Structure 1
Amino acid sequence: MGTGSKIVSVLFRLGELCSAIIVVALLGRSFYLINIANASANGRLVYAEVISALEIIFSVVLIIPAKYSFYAFPIDIIFFICSIVAFALLTDVSTGAGLHSCTSAWYYNYWGFYWGRFWRVPRVTVTATTIGSAGCGTWRAILAFLFIGAMSWMLSGILVSSA
């Protein structure tokens, strides 16, 4: 456990922490909007929120480059797998390859509808184009930071297991 590996380990932990905080904040906003609409949250979103909250806790505990944090590589691998599963669940909502998540039917009927607060507007005036543009950047940011966090957990697990 050299000085270089300790510094890199802290950087990976900071990446994990920042990514998880961003995902929790963005999903928290969506849960707030869903709550205002008196609707129920989708299980995929709840899973991603819970995994990200657990990642915050563990990354804060493991950020100090002590000896115990270098033996925690199974936790790194577990969170890598859980993050990839959350990413896959949120990406695999379209009927196609999942690459156009803002054009999927699930996005129109759920995320875009609640993010754009279209439950307040009569259904006649709401078009698919309007719903498709509501919150698409936020949706993609959640997917991006889930993936970045997963890669940070994976690299941290590789670094720790080889140290």
Structure 2
Amino acid sequence: MILAELFSIILRLAELAFAAIVAGLNGDYLHAVHGVSAWHLGRFIYTEVVAGLAMLLAIIWLFPFSSSFIHWPADFIMSVCWFAAFGLLVDWLGQSCGDVFDWRGLDFYGTATCAQWKATVAFTFLSAICWLASAILGIYWVRRHTVTVADGPYHRRRWYRSRV
């Protein structure tokens, strides 16, 4: 199963890179709007927390051990958190910069706020997909490597029966 371990490492590196990009772009916005109520910045603070947690978990689980596959429930939960952040950012962006995935006519020079927000939304979505793929890979690996009582030569001896 070296292929699954290699794919897992690639996914973890992508998760780490995407979370770092989202944290950087979102952190730049949070830094620029200092003095605004935290209530109005809730969706950005949530996205920053999810990105920080994703970076931490991706670094911890980057090491290629077989135990990294059993974390698939946490991978799924992180995927749900990223999809929630994606929805919050899309809702905030609205139609102010055009359609969310319409990249035509963007100006990447000067302030480029629309380009920055569209990049943040895009990398949030990509991170959610990578975490979901890690969860699916973990489920696949665990199901392939779990021995059930009916499949294996292992029979459970009842506690009240002796070997004699």
Classify the TM-score, shorter chain.
Answer: 0.7 to 0.9
| Offset, 1:93 | 2.6
What are the ranges of 5 or more consecutive residues in structure 1 without an aligned counterpart? 105-115, 117-133
Match of 2:36 among 18, 36, 39: 39
Corresponding residue of 1:54:
53
- Kept in 2, the 8 Å contact 1:86–1:146? The answer is yes
Q: What SS does structure 2 have at the residue aligned with 1:141?
A: helix
Between the aligned partners of 2:119 and 2:67, the Cα distance in structure 1 is 32
Which residue, out of 110, 115, 137, partners 1:159? 137
Match of 1:102 in 2: 97
Match status 1:141 vs 2:128: no
TM-score normalised according to structure 2 size: 0.73
Compute the TM-score of the two structures, normalised by the length of structure 1: 0.74
**What percentage of residue pairs aligned between the two structures are identical?**
35
Paired residue total: 128
Deviation at 1:68, TM superposition (A): 1.8
Given residue 131 of structure 2, which amino acid in structure 1 is its aligned partner? W
Q: What runs of 5+ residues in structure 2 fail to find an aligned partner?
A: 100-110, 142-164
The answer to whether the Cα contact below 8 Å between 1:13 and 1:63 also exists between their aligned partners in 2 is: yes
Alpha-carbon deviations, 1:14-40, whole Å to 9, x = none? 1100000000000111111112xx323
Select the structure that is richer in helix: 1
Q: Deviations over 1:86-132 (max 9, x none)?
A: 000110136xxx4x35259xxxxxxxxxxx6xxxxxxxxxxxxxxxx
Summarize deviations over 1:55-89 as a string: whole Å, max 9, x none.
Answer: 00000001112122110000100000000000001
Structure 2: distance between partners of 1:52 and 1:102: 23
SS at match of 1:71: helix
- Which structure has the larger Rg? 2
Q: Does 1:21 align with 2:20?
A: yes
Specify the alignment match of 1:9 in structure 2: 8
Q: Whole-Å Cα distance in 1 between the matches of residues 3 and 120 of structure 2?
A: 31
Contact 1:91 1:143 in 2 (8 A): yes
> Separation in 1 of the partners of 2:96 and 2:125?
15
Contact 1:17–1:56 (8 Å) recurs in 2: yes
